[in-house]
Amino acid sequence: MGEKSSYLAICIFGAAIFCFAATVPAATSDGEFELRPVRESSSGLSFQYEYRLIAQEEHYRVYSIRFPSPVMTDVSSNNVVPGELFIPLGADARTPVPAVICLHILSGNRDLMELVCTALASRGIAAFMFRLPFYGERGGPEGPRLLLRQPVLFMQAVEQGWGDARRAVDLLSSLPEIHPERISVLGISLGGITAFGIAAHEPRIWRVLAILAGGNLPEILEHARETQTIRQALDQMSEKDREDFLRLVRSSDPLVHAAKLRDKAAAGRVHLINATEDEVIPRKCTEELIAALGPGVTVSWIEGVGHYSAISKLPQIVEETVAFFAQDLETKPQASISRQAAERPAQFILAEFLQGLSKLLSGEATGKKRYRVALAGWVKKRQASEEVIRFSIDFARAEAGRFRLSGEIPQVGQVAFGQDQYPWIFSTTGMLFVGSLLREGEIIPDSGRSSLEPEKASLAASVDKRALPAEGEASKVLACPQDPLRFAKREYLDQLGMVSGILAAAALAPRLLANQEVTVDSLDGPSGPALVVKARKFGPAEVQLRFQPDGKTPRKIGFQISEWEGDLDIGLWQIEEPVPDSHFAPPDVPHKTEVPCYEMHRVFGAVFNFLGSSLTGN
């Protein structure tokens, strides 16, 4: 995630902006399913599957698929496997493409997997997602809960899922558009754990990617909050039934399957993406799996996030996922297609706007890729008698925790604060407060610790070298940490990070919102394109977005959301563009007051926490 200082400004107007996420429903076909045969399968038995085009997107087509599970159960609906196949445009018998089987999370949420499938297909890689046993229409509303209440059924469903995946490989191998020797598997959380069993039982699997997964299932079952229902059910079992269940668990453990995957790992075809603060899959469980897979397995640790807050890193995870499987493409995938403004469909323009918002929140900043947005506007309750609240904001951020926020804030007045080499605040009375460095032996108030004991474990990682004094003095002074929100509440940082991830998801896969009762229409205008977005699920909500003639730079936003309405005039919209160093410096005034850095950061944290509390209603 980019510098946390971005949240300080975004949280002021981010709640309203977030409601703009919308899309156009994809074009669909309501034709009947076509029956197709698969004559060669891993079991030696032929079968038929149903196949129907349901959407035509810019870079790919989506087909609805239904095929019979190789495992028959007492629940007839569970014996048919529904799925969706995303095939890139241009894939055919002469130019077959690699394919990835995508396995969903424990809750069965399909949006996340649809995002991954969309990203893969947009970059030239076919993707197939299907419902695991007893999920969705296979088990009805009670299906997943039934699995949690009946642990033995849960483990039997895992094994049925392996069989369904092998049949999915059979199906994909029969398609002329798919390279039969480049079929891989990925999974997230439960799907990631299941992926190892599938790859161990199905030798045709080429690559394996597990996201937020690990080994040692007994430990995970004992540890995770999500498996509490299973633990309660186990308490009601006889000792024999409990031991039978644990035997099934151990036989399904990725640690058991790891030996069969060592050749793939040694060839660089097994990759794990995990969170350092995962509260569901303990880090030691992932490290056990890494050791069992042996040399060659590659691992990415996402710093500072947990199992659920990892959504704030969604763009990074998706890009890493695509890059891993894109190694099997004959040509390098293209991230996007450049278009003239007149050719850009409404959902394309909206997706780019949402992507810009996400980058403003969490995009990586460098010397040449910085962020600045300036806007002015008003907001009021829709009753005519309500007072109009007017405000202006100019926000910029750069690398190493540098930011600047200034503007006219209601009930406060003209304010400016930020961080360059040191944090600073310019008050409404014209006083400038500048952060100062702690010197050797000074005591941090309320801590009782000497400044020789840094508040963070690794001082070296947080030191801005420009903030150090001249040579010979460095040993006597502690540099000001770069993180201006080090005293902000983690829950608010996580929530804003999740907003960033959701915005990025909507930008990467606009189809995700097709079922959210959201519509977007284009308006022609002499000054550039305009969009009208309506969303019934967010209450009575309508947003108008007007853009510059380039179709990329927003210039005006009007909204009516629930009981609120307002207008925003956007004067600057600089995303990943240069912003001069001088912009982050404090005002040049003759007098200034030095305040310890940690006190300045406490103020920043308090403001952020207040805004976070106000926006979330806590």
Confidence of residue 31 (pLDDT cuts 50, 70, 90): low
* Whether the predicted pLDDT of 474 surpasses 50: no
SS3 sequence of 272-316: EEEECCCCCCCHHHHHHHHHHHCCCCEEEEECCCCCCHHHHHHHH
Kindly give, in sequence order, each residue whose CB lies less than 8 Å from that of residue 564, ignoring residues fewer than 6 positions away.
16, 379, 380, 381, 382
Q: Which residue has the higher pLDDT, 156 or 87?
A: 87
What CATH number does domain 34-140+149-214+253-326 carry, 3.40.50.1820, 3.40.1280.10, 3.20.20.80, 3.30.160.40? 3.40.50.1820
* Each residue's pLDDT tens digit, 413-447: 788 999 998 999 998 778 899 998 654 444 444 43
The whole-number pLDDT of residue 261 equals: 96
Q: What is the mean pLDDT of the chain?
A: 81
26: DSSP letter: P
Is the model more confident about 239 or about 378? 378
Torsion over CA of 199, 160, 156 and 101, rounded to 10 degrees? 50
Q: What are phi and psi of 51, to 5 degrees?
A: -140, 125
In sequence order, the 6+-apart residues with CB closer than 8 A to the CB of 498 are: 308, 309, 311, 312
Least confident of 334-343, 536-545, 585-594: 334-343
What are the b/e assignments for 521-556, b being 16+ CB within 10 Å? ebeeeeebbbbbbbbeebeebebbbbbbeebbbbbb
Convert the pLDDT of each residue in 250-277 to its tens digit: 888 999 999 999 999 999 999 999 999 9
The letter for the amino acid at 213 is: A
Please give the pLDDT value at position 441.
Answer: 43
Task: Reply yes or no on whether the pLDDT at 55 is more than 60.
Answer: yes
Residue 311 has what pLDDT? 82
Check residue 575 and give its pLDDT.
94
Residue with tokens 């209450």: 539
The neighbour count for residue 234, using CB atoms within 10 Å, is 16
Q: How far apart are CA 366 and CA 362, in angstroms?
A: 12
Flag whether pLDDT at 27 surpasses 60: no
pLDDT band at 219 (very low <50, low <70, confident <90, very high): confident
3: helix, coil or strand? coil
Q: What is the pLDDT of residues 310-343, one digit of tens each?
A: 888 888 898 899 999 999 998 654 444 444 444 5
Confidence of residue 479 (pLDDT cuts 50, 70, 90): low
Strands 47-56 and 34-38: antiparallel
Q: For residues 186 and 101, what is the distance between their CA atoms, to the nearest angstrom?
A: 6
Q: Quote the pLDDT of residue 332.
A: 52
Residue 496 confidence (pLDDT):
83
Residue 7's pLDDT is 35
pLDDT of residue 579: 95
| Residue-level pLDDT at 581 | 94
For CATH 2.50.20, the residue range(s) in the chain are 345-437+480-616
Per-residue pLDDT, averaged over 561-578, amounts to: 92
pLDDT of residue 226: 67
Where do the CATH 3.40.50.1820 domains begin and end in the chain? 34-140+149-214+253-326
Q: Positive or negative CA dihedral for 257, 258, 263, 265?
A: positive
- Percentage above 70 pLDDT, the chain: 82
Token pair in block for residue 185: 């598997």
- pLDDT 10s digits, 117-167: 998 998 999 999 999 898 888 887 777 777 767 777 777 888 888 899 999
Residue range 450-479: average pLDDT?
Answer: 39
Distance CA 213, CA 195 (A): 10
Which comes out higher in pLDDT, residue 452 or 552?
552
User: pLDDT class for 549, splitting at 50, 70, 90?
Assistant: confident
pLDDT of residue 96: 95
At the topology level of CATH, where does 345-437+480-616 sit? outer membrane lipoprotein receptor (LolB), chain A (2.50.20)
Residue 452: the pLDDT is 35
Model confidence, pTM? 0.71
Q: Is the confidence at residue 49, as pLDDT, over 50?
A: yes
Helix or strand run (H / E) with residue 68? strand 60-68
Q: Which residues pair with 378 in a beta bridge?
A: 390, 567
Res. 478 pLDDT band, cuts 50 70 90: low
Find how far residue 298's CA is from the centre of its chain: 21
> What's the rounded mean pLDDT across residues 197-206?
94
Instruction: Convert 91-159 into a string of H (helix), E (strand) and C (coil).
Output: CCCCCCEEEEEEECCCCCCCHHHHHHHHHHHHCCCEEEEECCCCCHHHCCCCHHHHHHHCHHHHHHHHH
Report the range of poorest mean pLDDT among 67-81, 100-114, 541-555: 100-114
What pLDDT is recorded for position 148?
Answer: 67
Per-residue pLDDT, 116: 92
Beta strand pairing status for 97-103 and 126-130?
parallel
Q: Residue 46 above 80 pLDDT?
A: yes
- Residue 525: per-residue pLDDT: 66
Q: 37: which strand partners?
A: 48
Under a CB-based contact definition with an 8 Å cutoff, are residues 585 and 426 in contact? no
Residue type, 124: G
Rounded CA gap, 67 and 35, in Å? Answer: 10
Are the CB atoms for 518 and 535 separated by under 8 Å? yes
Residue 468 has pLDDT above 60, yes or no: no
Average pLDDT over residues 238-249: 78
| Distance in angstroms (rounded) separating the CA atoms of residues 382 and 564 | 5
Torsion (CA) 119, 117, 124, 314 in degrees, nearest 10: 30
Of 89, 170, 180, 187, nearest in space to 132 by CA = 187
pLDDT score of 279 more than 80? yes
617 phi-psi bin (left φ>0, alpha ψ -120 to 50, beta other): left
How, if at all, do strands 389-397 and 403-409 pair? antiparallel
Picking from 324, 405, 303, the residue whose alpha carbon sits closest to that of residue 360 is: 405
Phi/psi for 264 (5° steps) reads: -65, -45
pLDDT band at 8 (very low <50, low <70, confident <90, very high): very low
Q: Tell me the C-alpha distance between 493 and 499, whole Å.
A: 10
